[in-house]
Amino acid sequence: MSGGPPSGATEPAVPSPGSGAVDPTPTLGREDVAHVAALARLALSDDELDMFTEQLARVIEHARDVAALDVADVPPTAHPLPVRNVLRADEPRGGLDRDEVLAAAPDVEDGRFKVPRIVGEAP
Amino acid sequence: MNPGALAVAASVRSGERRARAVVEETLEAIAARDPGLHAFLHVAGDQALEAAAAVDRAVEEGRDPGPLAGVPVALKDNICTRGVPTTCASRILEGWLPPYDATVVTRLRDAGAVVVGKTNLDEFAMGSSTENSSRGPTRHPMDPTRVPGGSSGGSAAAVGAGLVPLALGSDTGGSVRQPAALCGTVGMKPTYGLVSRYGLVAFASSLDQIGPIARSVGDAAALFEVIAGHDPLDSTSLDAPAPSVSQVLDAGVEGMRVGLVAELVDGTAPDVARRVRAAAGALAGAGAVVDDVTVPEMRFGLSAYYLIAPAEASSNLARYDGVRYGLRVDAPDVAAMNTATRTAGFGPEVKRRIMLGTYALSAGYYDAYYGKAQRVRTLMIRAFDRAYERFDVLLGATAPTTAFRLGERTDDPLAMYMSDVCTIPSNLSGHPAISVPFGAGDDGLPVGVQVLAPARGEEQLFRAAAVLERAAGEVRS
């Protein structure tokens, strides 16, 4: 397996790659990886940055088959079920035991989660 | 080899065997054989013996001990168990003791099943070989130089090696079916929404579904029936009765319309493709009407999946910030603490997926990647709908190859992702699918064939699976 699943015989219903010819899809470079790593709060060494850039660029390159499709008239699917606004009756009920929950936290004080300084010099 | 789950339950329910003896035997087998296999991350021996004693008391007192009375079950370690470690094979959750049980765990206990331990997986279920575990890989039960598949590799290996008759895994892109196929076991992904995800650590919420792994189709059906059904604690749970499947296992496939999917056969290894064609022949021999079908949209499945799943993962895994549970690496301010914690706590594959998802969702790329992938998801669902106008079930391979060697695909993420190419379409569509062992490849290792059905089509899925299981048995003997 190197080129993805076989194409088989095509039916007219399948849009052909590039038929829209609108979007020369962006490629992913080293500065993109550094940017998303910072957004995701991950620190990368220079070597890791090189490795991830090479690997992620290959995945994004593979995804160009999808990115190149002209599917503007197809609605997106976010979820396989047609469920909306699932609500329950607004009745009070017990939650998790506070001490048991706090016991799993790295640091607590007076029944609350404790974190290092939030306000101060910009991170 | 141990008897199957239903045989164990029957002997415990009748009083012929004590649950405690069954569980003691299982714990001994794990102690003796798991060191070479590494299917388990945690064995809950004391809790298991206590649960077994409760089952025995129920039998003695004439109370119904449940349909899975005394049956040892292993759980993938991304399923929450109260007071028992749940790590997702990640350093970031090492030592975490969940304050609650997943709904599937509650249902298993209510059914009399005994949770004996937590099994290895690719970190946060991201992988296809169980090599992305912070605790080291699981070995294939028949060949220690090979992977068991993944990400539910520990569960599949534990069942394949005969350590437990039943296990649960989770299937986001094939993570139950693919390892089940590689380990010669039965693995099933239910219709999205049929099994509660409450207490399943989230990976990609619109795709994740818990599913059974067993050594027989009948055992998988029994486990599916125990875990399926509406759960108010999961807002994506279907508010409808779950299909009952055990009663249709002998119904056969006379007149059933079976579509052999070109996209799920042609790209697979020649020995795998041969087994799938043999399975099609077996169904035809049992009276099914088998025809070829192409579903060309499937060729976009891999790309769409590797945009959608990482996008959802990047959001779901934002919760690991060193505040409420798990690892914290200290730093002078909270943002630096978040970064230090996540950098130390996540392995390379999880970082890859988080960054890929963050990229696919980020300003400027959202429409080109994530938005397109969601529209392609619609195309995939429409393609399945068209196919199911002509067919009751579809048939194909579960995985493109038999079990591969440890290390073979670890340096090439895209090659690893290809292992899921046959299973991903059902996750994108939310449809059920099952993998059934159907003979061996040229290397003597198990081959699984996959049956796919429309939403809530579990009945025809299990009917076809049962026929394939019988046919495979006849081939072997």
> Which tops the pLDDT comparison, B135 or B476?
B135
d(CA B161, CA B18): 23
Q: Is the pLDDT of residue B53 over 80?
A: yes
Residue B191 within any structural domain of the chain: yes
Predicted pLDDT at A67: 86
What was the pLDDT predicted at B474?
Answer: 76
Query: Which tens digits make up the pLDDT trace of B119-165?
Result: 999 999 999 999 999 999 999 999 999 999 999 999 999 999 999 99
Residue B26 pLDDT class (50, 70, 90 cuts): very high
* Cβ distance of B334 and A118 shorter than 8 Å: yes
Report helix, strand or coil for B394. Answer: strand
Tell me the per-residue pLDDT of A71-115, one tens digit each, with 9 for 90 and over. 999 999 998 887 778 888 899 998 999 999 999 999 999 999 999
Alpha carbon distance B167, B249 (integer Å): 20
Find which of B297, B327, B356 to mutate to test the A interface (most A CBs within 10 Å of its CB).
B356
B355/A37 CB distance under 8 A: yes
Same domain for B241 and B160 = yes
B372 touches chain A (CB under 8 A): yes
Q: Does B417 touch chain A (CB under 8 A)?
A: yes
Report the pLDDT averaged over residues B236-245.
Answer: 91
Q: Would B473 be classed as within a structural domain?
A: no
Indicate the domain borders of chain A.
Answer: 26-73
- Which chain A residue has the Cα nearest residue B337? A116
* Residues B395, B276: Cα–Cα separation, whole Å: 8
Answer whether B313 touches A (CB < 8 Å). no
Taking the CA of residue B443 and the nearest CA in chain A, the distance in Å comes to 18
B175 carries an active-site annotation = yes
Task: Tokens for B200, please give them.
Answer: 């399943």
Residue B474 lies in a domain: no
Structure tokens at B280: 């099609």
Residue finishing a domain among B341, B366, B391: B366
Separation in Å, CA of B103 to nearest CA in chain A:
15
Residue B377 in domain: no
Which chain A residues are Cβ-neighbours of B354 within 8 angstroms? Answer: 40, 42
Which chain B residue lies closest to A78 (C-alpha atoms)? B374
pLDDT in tens, B32-49: 999 999 999 999 999 999
- Among residues B90, B133, B151, B314, the one annotated as catalytic is B151
Angle B295-B172-B388 from CA coordinates, rounded to 5°: 30
Q: Which domain, by its residues, includes B154?
A: 5-248
Query: Would you say residue B436 has pLDDT above 80?
Result: yes
Query: In this predicted model, what pLDDT tens digit does every residue of A28-82 receive, in sequence order?
Result: 899 999 999 999 999 999 999 999 999 999 999 999 889 889 999 999 999 888 7
Determine the pLDDT at residue A27.
Answer: 80
What pLDDT is recorded for position B296? 96
Half-sphere exposure of B57 (CA within 13 A, CB side): 6
Tell me the C-alpha distance between A92 and A23, whole Å: 52
The CATH homologous superfamily to which domain A26-73 belongs is: Glu-tRNAGln amidotransferase C subunit, N-terminal domain (1.10.20.60)
Q: How far is CA A115 from CA B96, B326, B359, B399, in A?
A: 18, 14, 28, 45
HSE-up (13 A, CA, CB side) for residue B167: 40
Residue of B nearest to A80 (CA): B430
**Beta carbons within 8 Å of B216's beta carbon, 6+ residues apart:** B4, B186, B469
The predicted pLDDT at position B269 comes to: 97
Instruction: Tell me if A71 and B379 make a contact (CB, 8 A cut-off).
Output: yes
- Please confirm, yes or no, whether B76 is among the known catalytic residues: yes
**B114 and B45 housed in the same domain:** yes
Domain boundary among B314, B333, B366: B366
Main-chain phi, psi angles of B205, to 5 degrees? -65, -25
B240 — pLDDT class (breaks 50, 70, 90):
confident
Contact A4 B368 (CB under 8 A): no
Q: Can you tell me the ipTM of this complex?
A: 0.93
For the cut 60, the answer to whether the pLDDT of residue A6 exceeds it is: no
Q: Do A116 and B383 touch (CB under 8 A)?
A: no
CB contact under 8 A, A69 and B299: no
**Residue A37, min C-alpha distance to chain B (Å):** 6
- Specify whether B51 is located in the same domain as B168: yes
Question: Which of B211-220, B231-240, B350-359, B388-397 shows the lowest mean pLDDT across its residues?
Answer: B231-240
Interchain CB distance below 8 Å, B267 and A4: yes
Helix (H, G, I), strand (E, B) or coil at B437: strand
Task: With CB atoms and an 8 Å threshold, state whether B354 touches A40.
Answer: yes
- In chain B, which residues have their Cβ closer than 8 Å to the Cβ of A26? 364-365, 368
| Residue B299: inside a domain | no
- Cis omega before residue B151 (within 30°)? yes
* Residue B320 resides in a domain: yes
Domain assignment present for residue B321? The answer is: yes
Structure confidence at residue B3 (pLDDT): 78
pLDDT of B292 reads 98
| pLDDT computed for residue B363 by the predictor | 85
- Reported as a pLDDT band with limits 50, 70 and 90, residue A15 is low
CA separation for the pair B440, B472 (Å, rounded): 10
Q: Quickly list H helices, B193-290.
A: 217-227, 270-285
Instruction: Out of B248, B272, B296, pick the residue that ends a domain.
Output: B248
Does residue A25 register a pLDDT over 80? Answer: no
Least confident residue range of A8-17, B53-62, B329-338: A8-17
pLDDT of A3: 36
- Of the candidates B175, B196, B314, B426, the residue annotated as catalytic is B175
Reported as a single tens digit per residue, the pLDDT across B400-424 is 999 999 999 999 999 999 999 999 9
Enumerate the H helices of B246-347 as residue ranges: 270-285, 301-316, 334-345
What average pLDDT is seen over chain B?
96
pLDDT in tens, B317-349: 999 999 999 999 999 999 999 999 999 999 999
Same domain, B44 and B137: yes
Domain count, chain B: 2
CATH of the domain at B167: 3.90.1300.10
> What is the per-residue pLDDT for A61?
92
Residue B22 in domain: yes
Residues B211 and B146 placed together within one structural domain of the fold: yes
Tokens of B249: 């296992």
The residue of A55, A64, A73, A77 whose CB has the most chain B CBs within 10 angstroms, and thus the best one to mutate to test that interface, is A77
Give how far A65 is from chain B: nearest CA, Å.
7
Confidence of residue A16 (pLDDT cuts 50, 70, 90): low
pLDDT at A19 (0 to 100)? 43
Q: Over range B452-457, report the average pLDDT.
A: 97
For position A113, what pLDDT does the model report? 96
Whether residue A106 and residue B373 make contact (CB cut-off 8 A), yes or no, is no
Q: Chain B: nearest CA to A29, how far in angstroms? A: 11
Q: What is the pTM of this model?
A: 0.94
Burial of residue B252 (number of CB atoms within 10 Å: 0-12, 13-18, 19+)? middle
Burial B221-234 (b: 16+ CB within 10 A, else e): bbbbbbbbbebeeb
Asked if residue B165 and residue B26 are part of one domain, the reply reads yes
Alpha carbons B321 and B302: distance in angstroms, whole number: 30
Residues B220 and B342 in one domain: no
Per-residue model confidence (pLDDT) at position B426: 98
My answer on whether B194 and B343 are in the same domain is no
